[in-house]
Amino acid sequence: SDWSSDVCSSDLRELGGGTLLDAGSGSLGIADLLDERWRVTAVDRAFDDDGAWVRPPRTRAHRVVADVCALPFPDGAFDVVVAIDLVDRLAPGRRGDALRELGRVARRRVIVSSPAGPAALEADRRLLESLRRPPRWLVERVGAGLPYPADLEVPLRAWGLVRSFPSGSPEAHVRLARRELRPAGVVPSRLAARALARGLRDERPWARRALRRLRGGDAAPGYRTVVVAEIAASRWASSSSVSAA
């Protein structure tokens, strides 16, 4: 969702730039919301948003079609790996494999944001029941169930220190999603979300205030859980020692 693309902004800003993998980016991803210090590669199984686009819109990211559970990149290929609303789209049995693969190709940090937990799943059920023609992704998400926050954290602990925090309220998610999923609301919602994301990128005070109102706060239980894994320096120290030998 474009409304959630800001969740990693502060964690990226402090790193100052580098190479970034946008895993499960869909058609737009986050490349155009970042400044020129970031060189972005987008990876997904397709970039048409499940057929929503005949031809995906242009982006400055380099696109690679691949399975997130078997990424075609060497260990530590990217300074940062970001995955927004990816894990919940995977079958439960593949989620851990995907998270471990994200950690494998990251050198400094992994940032994962996903709907997670019982409150988020209940919000999705309410949303599903309120729509006459729910989208396929929502039907599949409710059917498969959402990960728990621990499901996002545990596979990444193998790579370093992990911290997590809630993002957005379940009630606010339902309100926003209903607007976005109306036929007349898709384009205006996307345009508004991208404008907001650019305002956040440029650190505009109005954008931060607007986001707080839209998301309904970040108290637990949130609709999304954001997990940040700091890749242990010892991982690369040991790799360098082996290479030198």
SS3 readout for the chain: CHHHCCCCHHHHHCCCCEEEEEECCCCCCCHHHCCCCEEEEEEECCCCCCCCCCCCCCCCCEEEECCCCCCCCCCCCEEEEEEECCHHHCCHHHHHHHHHHHHHCEEEEEEEEEECCHHHHHHHHHHHHHCCCCCHHHHHHHHHCCCCHHHHHHHHHHCEEEEEEEECCHHHHHHHHHHHHCCCCHHHHHHHHHHHHHHHHCCCHHHHHHHHHHHCCCCCCCCEEEEEEEECHHHHHHHHHHHHC
Which pLDDT score is estimated for 105?
A: 97
Residue 56: per-residue pLDDT: 56
Per-residue model confidence as pLDDT tens digits over 73-118: 999 999 999 999 999 999 999 999 999 999 999 999 999 999 999 9
pLDDT for residue 12? 85
- Is the pTM for the entire model greater than 0.85? no
For the chain, what is the mean pLDDT? 84
pLDDT digits (tens, 9 = 90+) for 177-230: 888 787 665 556 666 776 777 777 677 787 777 766 766 666 678 899 999 999
* pLDDT, tens only, 20-50: 999 998 877 888 788 889 999 999 998 876 5
Above 50 in pLDDT, residue 245? no
